[in-house]
């Protein structure tokens, strides 16, 4: 565990320290697109944040390769090299898109090529654990197609949800944390070394997101762009492929009693990781809804719009930060709920806890303008928007003098009305003064 934590910290530190220089480089390079109709931010913000995240990935893999225990992952498996090759390719495509706005079909082709590169180096799905059947081996073509489909779905799910400051990085970090706990449990509790690469990928992914989040929280100073969103989507997919299609349920027979029991024991996380439907359930749901919505309108599935889940949260009255926190909440509830259910699926308290938290989430959705106030002693620990505002004596006096201020305003408007009228009629200053004097006398 200590080596994983060290790798996570090194990855986060490198990503955090490089994001500042990358921001300056993005400004100089002109990677600051104009505000589009679907954008939420109001000022042009530099992109290319994926550059810092990619170098954080490289630093994490380099550090892990020189650690005593994690070095065995590189010695016994080619998956880290496969991940680095696919990540480098998808990162280059993302950098070009952040700068030159390449076509969506070209990006889709690049995603498929990156997935194919990883398959060629051994990072592929070999079998599937099916409930009631057991372990189902896949042919080479079946494994390749399923792997490519999983990579493309995950990349685009993360890319589609990247619409608010800190949203994509935070949701992927939550998913990576749940995924890390599951993979680490499979490796340590069951002694299955095939889960070690997936555990390493999850730790590095957490470091990439945590290092970038301080620069990307609202108001964001830099965006990760497609170079970052597609990169973290690929890393998440690589971990899911590694543990879902590489770990043989036969190895769990000693702990579960039989192959079918082992599959049933791990199915709450195995199958969702494959699709994936729980670890990135919210981005996947957003992806499916976007495709259906755009196809129904006769548009391309890759055409951008303002119909995503986070846009709808803003439309019903939630603030930017509140919308992001709500998306965090649902992602954590689904991911960690599936993780807890996989550990002890027979516990009724887990199901009741998930139902209770779901009810809380629905209440938060229905109260977009509710702003909690904390006690006075705790105000120093919360953001300013949650603190009680104290009115100064000058403010109270100004509010008491509002009627006088209103009369003064009306008088000023009356004085401004005469010069304007004189200017319109074309008379000189003396005529205007005389007209004003007669107007006063007449009153």
Beta-carbon contacts of residue 247 (< 8 Å; ≥ 6 apart):
186, 192, 194, 195
Give yes or no: residues 31 and 160 share one domain.
Answer: yes
Note whether residue 315 is domain-resident. no
First to last CA, the chain: 89
| Domain end marker among 270, 293, 316 | 293
Give yes or no: residues 410 and 286 share one domain.
Answer: no
Give yes or no: residues 400 and 277 share one domain.
Answer: no
Note whether residue 349 is domain-resident. no
Q: What's the Rg (C-alpha) of the chain?
A: 29
Note whether residue 323 is domain-resident. no
Question: CA separation (Å) from 382 to 39, 226, 387?
Answer: 28, 32, 7
Note whether residue 338 is domain-resident. no
In this prediction the pTM is 0.73
Domain span at 407: 393-442
Q: Which two tokens stand for residue 306?
A: 């303002």
Residue with tokens 């990781």: 273
Note whether residue 228 is domain-resident. yes
Q: Which two tokens stand for residue 241?
A: 């492929």
Nearest Cα residue to 180 out of 215, 205, 162, 159? 205
Query: How many structural domains is the chain composed of?
Result: 2
Give yes or no: residues 254 and 124 share one domain.
Answer: yes
Give yes or no: residues 20 and 151 share one domain.
Answer: yes
Note whether residue 147 is domain-resident. yes
Give yes or no: residues 287 and 400 share one domain.
Answer: no
Note whether residue 370 is domain-resident. no
Q: How far apart are CA 158 and CA 141, in angstroms?
A: 26
| DSSP states of 108-131 | HHHHHHHHHHHHHTT-S--EEEET
Q: Does residue 137 sit in helix, strand or coil?
A: strand
Q: Is the dihedral of CA 373, 374, 376, 378 positive or negative?
A: negative
Kindly provide the residue ranges of all beta strands, DSSP E only, lying in 118-234, ordered along the sequence: 127-130, 134-137
Q: How far apart are CA 158 and CA 26, in angstroms?
A: 22
| Domain end marker among 267, 293, 319 | 293
Note whether residue 265 is domain-resident. yes
Residue with tokens 């000022």: 43
**Contact criterion met (CB below 8 Å) for 337 and 313:** no
Q: Which two tokens stand for residue 419?
A: 């010069």
User: Hey, how many other C-beta atoms are within 10 angstroms of the C-beta on 418?
Assistant: 14
| Domain end marker among 293, 312, 345 | 293
156 marked ligand binding residue: no
Give yes or no: residues 283 and 408 share one domain.
Answer: no
Give yes or no: residues 55 and 187 share one domain.
Answer: yes
Give yes or no: residues 137 and 269 share one domain.
Answer: yes
Q: Which two tokens stand for residue 264?
A: 């049933």
Q: How far apart are CA 192 and CA 187, in angstroms?
A: 5
Buried b / exposed e across 69-88, counting CB within 10 Å, b at 16+? Answer: ebeebbeebebbebbbbbbe
The residue length of the chain stands at 443
**Contact criterion met (CB below 8 Å) for 373 and 386:** yes
- pLDDT value at position 261? 54
Q: Which two tokens stand for residue 432?
A: 């205007």
Residue 77 gets the label, from left (phi > 0), alpha (psi -120 to 50) or beta, of: beta
Q: How far apart are CA 326 and CA 276, in angstroms?
A: 21
Give yes or no: residues 59 and 169 share one domain.
Answer: yes
- pLDDT value at position 250? 58
58 CB burial (10 A radius; 0-12, 13-18, 19+): middle
Give yes or no: residues 272 and 409 share one domain.
Answer: no
248 marked ligand binding residue: no
Q: How far apart are CA 87 and CA 278, in angstroms?
A: 23
Nearest Cα residue to 239 out of 177, 316, 171? 177
Q: What is the pLDDT along the chain (443 residues), one digit of tens a residue?
A: 889 999 999 999 999 999 999 999 999 988 876 665 555 556 778 889 999 999 999 999 999 999 988 888 898 889 999 999 999 999 999 999 988 888 888 999 999 999 999 999 988 888 776 666 666 778 889 889 989 998 998 898 888 777 778 888 998 998 889 889 888 887 777 677 778 898 999 999 999 999 999 998 878 889 998 999 999 999 999 988 888 766 665 555 545 555 555 555 555 445 434 444 565 666 667 677 777 777 777 776 666 656 666 566 766 666 767 778 888 888 888 888 877 776 766 567 777 887 888 788 777 766 665 555 667 777 776 666 556 665 445 544 554 454 444 444 444 444 444 443 344 344 444 444 444 444 334 33
The number of helices, as runs of H, and strands, as runs of E, in the chain is 18, 2
């Amino acid at each position: 565990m200590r080596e994983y934590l060290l790798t996570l910290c090194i990855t986060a530190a490198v990503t955090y320290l490089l994001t500042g220089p990358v921001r300056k480089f993005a400004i100089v390079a002109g990677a600051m697109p104009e505000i589009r109709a679907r954008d939420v931010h109001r000022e042009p913000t530099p992109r290319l944040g994926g550059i810092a995240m990619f170098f954080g990935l490289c630093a994490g893999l380099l550090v892990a390769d020189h650690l005593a225990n994690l070095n065995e992952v590189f010695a016994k498996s080619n998956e880290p090299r496969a991940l680095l090759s696919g990540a480098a390719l998808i990162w280059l495509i993302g950098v070009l898109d952040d700068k030159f706005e390449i076509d969506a079909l070209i990006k889709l082709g690049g995603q498929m090529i990156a997935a194919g590169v990883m398959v060629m180096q051994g990072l592929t799905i070999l079998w599937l654990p099916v409930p009631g059947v057991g372990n189902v081996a896949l042919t080479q073509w079946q494994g390749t197609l399923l792997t490519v489909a999983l990579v493309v779905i995950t990349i685009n799910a993360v890319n589609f949800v990247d619409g608010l400051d800190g949203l994509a990085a935070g949701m992927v970090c939550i998913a990576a944390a749940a995924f890390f706990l599951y993979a680490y449990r499979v490796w340590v509790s069951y002694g299955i070394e095939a889960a070690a690469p997936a555990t390493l990928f999850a730790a590095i992914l957490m470091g990439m997101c945590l290092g970038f989040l301080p620069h990307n929280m609202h108001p964001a100073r830099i965006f990760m762009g497609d170079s970052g969103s597609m990169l973290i989507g690929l890393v998440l997919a690589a971990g899911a492929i590694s543990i879902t299609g590489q770990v043989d349920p036969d190895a769990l027979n000693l702990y579960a009693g039989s192959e079918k029991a082992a599959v049933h024991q791990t199915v709450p996380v195995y199958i969702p990781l494959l699709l994936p439907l729980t670890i990135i359930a919210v981005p996947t749901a957003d992806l499916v809804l976007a495709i259906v919505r755009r196809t129904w309108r006769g548009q391309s599935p890759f055409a951008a719009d303002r119909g995503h889940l986070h846009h709808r949260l803003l439309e019903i009255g939630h603030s930017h930060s509140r919308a992001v926190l709500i998306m965090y909440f649902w992602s954590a509830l689904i991911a960690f709920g599936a993780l807890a259910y996989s550990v002890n699926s027979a516990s009724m308290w887990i199901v009741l806890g998930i139902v209770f938290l779901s009810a809380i989430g629905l209440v938060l959705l229905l109260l977009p303008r509710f702003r909690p106030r904390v006690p006075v002693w705790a105000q120093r620990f919360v953001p300013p928007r949650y603190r009680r505002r104290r009115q100064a004596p000058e403010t109270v006096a100004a509010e008491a003098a509002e009627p006088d201020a209103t009369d003064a305003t009306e008088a000023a408007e009356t004085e401004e009305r005469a010069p304007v009228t004189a200017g319109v009629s074309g008379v000189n200053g003396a005529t205007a003064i005389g007209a004003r004097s007669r107007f006063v006398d007449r009153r």
